[in-house]
């Protein structure tokens, strides 16, 4: 019922909701078991997803948004499955963190997976994972490049790129469209580049 909506609201019971959660648990089980056998080293992307997952689940739990916790698990599971297709699996720490977060919602599945990962003690005897905000930061961001307020291109730049470098990269991406006099160059950090022309 947590998946249907906020717990404080009445919900119409629908057996079809069980199918979605069952599919999610099966997909996570498969990801965890495939990753266990693959023994993959962690990547920056895995670490970032892991810490974002911990942060999001913790925030949603603290605000009692239990239905969004469930949908968040599904969303992050899909991200990890997509990443595993490229890397051959997911690292042990990320899977174990997911299991710890999942435990209050699916205790039997979490406990079984925890033991599959070689732990003799219960998953409920572990500390709640903590998010590292530095690890969650995006290295690359996508920025729309506009001419007079209309988007003409989207570029990928480092999150730490300076204003001058961002504007230079933006102008390079739309060089063939810069036909007038440039009046103003606007860069809203990590959001948008706008070239004003006459």
Give start-end residues of each CATH 3.10.20.590 domain in the chain: 140-197
CATH entry, 140-197, from 3.40.50.620, 3.40.50.300, 3.10.20.590, 3.30.750.24: 3.10.20.590
List of residues 6+ apart from 177 with CB closer than 8 A: 147, 152
Determine the 3-state secondary structure of 187 from DSSP.
strand
**Is the torsion defined by CA of 31, 36, 37, 38 positive or negative?**
positive
- How many CA atoms does the CB half-sphere of 195 hold within 13 Å? 26
Give me the CATH code for the 16-136 domain, please.
1.10.730.10
> Cα dist. 174→37, 90, 165, 167, 191 in Å?
47, 38, 15, 11, 17
**Is the torsion defined by CA of 81, 82, 84, 90 positive or negative?**
negative
Give the per-residue pLDDT at 142: 87
Give the per-residue pLDDT at 140: 78
Give the per-residue pLDDT at 180: 84
Q: Which residues of the chain, if any, have pLDDT below 50?
A: 1-4
Determine the 3-state secondary structure of 192 from DSSP.
strand
**147 beta partners:** 150, 195
Give the per-residue pLDDT at 135: 86
182, 197 contact by CB (below 8 A): yes
């Amino acid at each position: 019922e947590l998946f249907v909506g906020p717990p404080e609201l009445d919900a119409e019971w629908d057996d079809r909701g069980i199918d979605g959660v069952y599919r999610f648990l099966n997909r996570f089980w498969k990801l965890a078991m495939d990753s266990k056998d693959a023994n993959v080293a962690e990547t920056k992307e895995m670490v970032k997803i892991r810490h974002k997952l911990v942060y999001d689940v913790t925030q949603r739990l603290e605000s009692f948004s239990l239905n969004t916790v469930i949908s968040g698990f599904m969303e992050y599971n899909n991200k990890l499955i997509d990443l595993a297709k490229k890397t051959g699996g997911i690292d042990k720490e990320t899977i174990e963190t997911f299991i710890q977060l999942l435990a209050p919602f699916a205790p039997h599945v979490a406990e079984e997976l925890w033991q599959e990962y070689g732990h003799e003690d219960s998953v409920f005897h572990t500390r709640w994972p903590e998010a590292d905000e530095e690890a969650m930061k995006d290295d690359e961001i996508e920025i729309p490049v506009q001419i007079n307020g209309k988007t003409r291109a989207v570029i990928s730049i480092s999150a730490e790129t300076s204003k001058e470098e961002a504007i230079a990269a933006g102008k390079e991406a739309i060089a063939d469209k810069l036909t007038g006099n440039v009046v103003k160059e606007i860069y809203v950090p990590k959001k948008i580049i706008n070239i004003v022309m006459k």
